[in-house]
Amino acid sequence: MTYQRKLSRTAAISLLLIGVGGIILPLLFRWLSAGAPRTSQMLYQQGSDLFAFSVDTLTSRKIAEGRDAWSWSPDGTKLILTDSDRASIWVSQANGSSPQLVLDNKQYPNLALRIMRWLTNEVVLLVFSPIDRYTFFLYSLNISTGHLQQIEEISGLDLYPAPNGKFWVRTYIDGAEISTLSGQRVLEERIPIFSLAFSPDSQQIAYLSNNRQIWIANISENGITDAYPLYSPHENGFDFDPDLRWSPDGKYVGYRAYKGEPYFQAVEVSTRKLKYSWPVPSVSRFFMWAPGSDAIIMKDRYQTPMLDLATGKITPILITPEDKPSVYITDWRFFPKPSK
């Protein structure tokens, strides 16, 4: 694997990924909540093949070959893909059908695609960089028209788009900068912000400060306000990874902690109290929230440990034989269940 593919894979994993797969256990059905009928589906990559996994039927279906998975659109109706060499961008229906080429990057042979993120259901943020330089170019791509527009050029890259697609935050050593889709830099905050994570409604951020305290603040295109300390793992005897992740229901901020052994911890935002603290396998590095916010899955080489947050029970739910490529789970969603 080349350095370029490693960097692209790492960037993709830092947004959404974790993985490793093959066998799903029926206990995943507990993640389907009451209410309107819906199904829980995972999107995963194994080698050069792309699969959709249905928790309802416990089956995988190959939906593409020779392409890399990124994620479903915010409304879950589309799927964005790239060729294995990141040379072209495709958009298909959520089930992988009717793929349409929207950008042929072969016309830009000296630019490498580093990051691709949905801003809206029609607009994707693309981050390119010259292969031999640490300069980054931000583009917006309209997947319906194929219109590609350069937004800005930046150096360094800690870029956090808001889930609502209206703005993003770029952080650096002693501050943060808020920009809009037009490239307008509307605000520069002179406060240390690290490992920023947006709430699902885009109205708050969780982040780390210099003293390794977790903070919460309100955010909009107009600025960052009403910041307050949420929780300090250090004051409670834990070290922790600077990788904060907000739960899909907006109630918790999770992270990986250490106290002799690794833990997964989650703080309840409304009470500012530690809600969950469970030991996890030492080999697990990344984690992804279940769409019901009641469990997480973690990255391992040959399996995907699942942690039940109510009981602390860990179950390997995806198993990969050692002679098979690793599996990368790139998205996990609830979808309306098709009517019969």
Q: What is the 3-state secondary structure (H, E, C) of 277-339?
A: EEECCCCCCCEEECCCCCEEEECCCCEEEEEECCCCCEEEEEECCCCCCCEEEEEEEEEECCC
Please name which of 133, 194, 1 lies closest in space to residue 10, comparing C-alpha atoms: 1
* Distance separating alpha carbons of residues 249 and 94, to the nearest angstrom: 23
Are residues 37 and 29 in contact, defined by beta-carbon separation less than 8 angstroms?
Answer: no
Please name which of 159, 122, 119, 120 lies closest in space to residue 137, comparing C-alpha atoms: 159
Are residues 206 and 223 in contact, defined by beta-carbon separation less than 8 angstroms?
Answer: no
Task: Give backbone dihedrals phi and psi of 26, rounded to 5 degrees, phi first.
Answer: -60, -20
- At 28 the pLDDT is 40
Q: Which of 105-109, 173-177, 254-258 has the highest mean pLDDT?
A: 254-258
10 Å CB burial of residue 106 (0-12, 13-18, 19+) is exposed
Domain residue extents for the chain = 3-336
In this prediction, what percent of the chain has a pLDDT beyond 90?
A: 23
CB atoms within 10 A of CB 59: 11
Which residues 6+ apart lie within 8 Å of 171 measured at CB? Answer: 158, 160, 177, 193, 194, 196, 207
Indicate the range of 19-23, 123-127, 193-197 predicted with least confidence: 19-23
In this prediction, what percent of the chain has a pLDDT beyond 70?
A: 76
CB atoms within 10 A of CB 270: 8
- At 255 the pLDDT is 93
Which residues 6+ apart lie within 8 Å of 340 measured at CB? Answer: none
Q: Which two tokens stand for residue 127?
A: 């981050």
Give the mean pLDDT of 306-310.
Answer: 91
Higher-pLDDT residue of 75 and 222 is 75
| Dihedral class, residue 282 (left if φ above 0, else alpha if ψ from -120 to 50, else beta) | alpha
* Distance separating alpha carbons of residues 331 and 197, to the nearest angstrom: 17
Q: Which two tokens stand for residue 126?
A: 């693309």
Higher-pLDDT residue of 21 and 183 is 183
Confidence bin at 231 (pLDDT 50/70/90):
very high
Mean pLDDT, the chain, whole residue set = 78
The residue with tokens 């690793």 is 326
* Distance separating alpha carbons of residues 109 and 214, to the nearest angstrom: 41
The verdict on pTM exceeding 0.75 is yes
- At 293 the pLDDT is 93
Confidence bin at 253 (pLDDT 50/70/90):
very high
Indicate the range of 32-41, 222-231, 255-264, 300-309 predicted with least confidence: 32-41
Which residues 6+ apart lie within 8 Å of 181 measured at CB? Answer: 119, 123, 140, 151, 165, 166, 167
The residue with tokens 């409604």 is 201
Are residues 176 and 189 in contact, defined by beta-carbon separation less than 8 angstroms?
Answer: yes
- At 16 the pLDDT is 31
- At 31 the pLDDT is 40
pLDDT tens digits, 262-284: 999 999 999 999 999 999 987 66
Pick the CATH number of 3-336 from 2.130.10.10, 1.10.1740.10, 3.30.1330.180, 3.40.1160.10: 2.130.10.10
DSSP 15: H
- At 30 the pLDDT is 40
DSSP 236: G
Are residues 21 and 44 in contact, defined by beta-carbon separation less than 8 angstroms?
Answer: yes
Higher-pLDDT residue of 80 and 210 is 80
pLDDT tens digits, 317-338: 767 777 777 778 888 888 887 6
Instruction: Tell me the residue type at 65.
Output: E
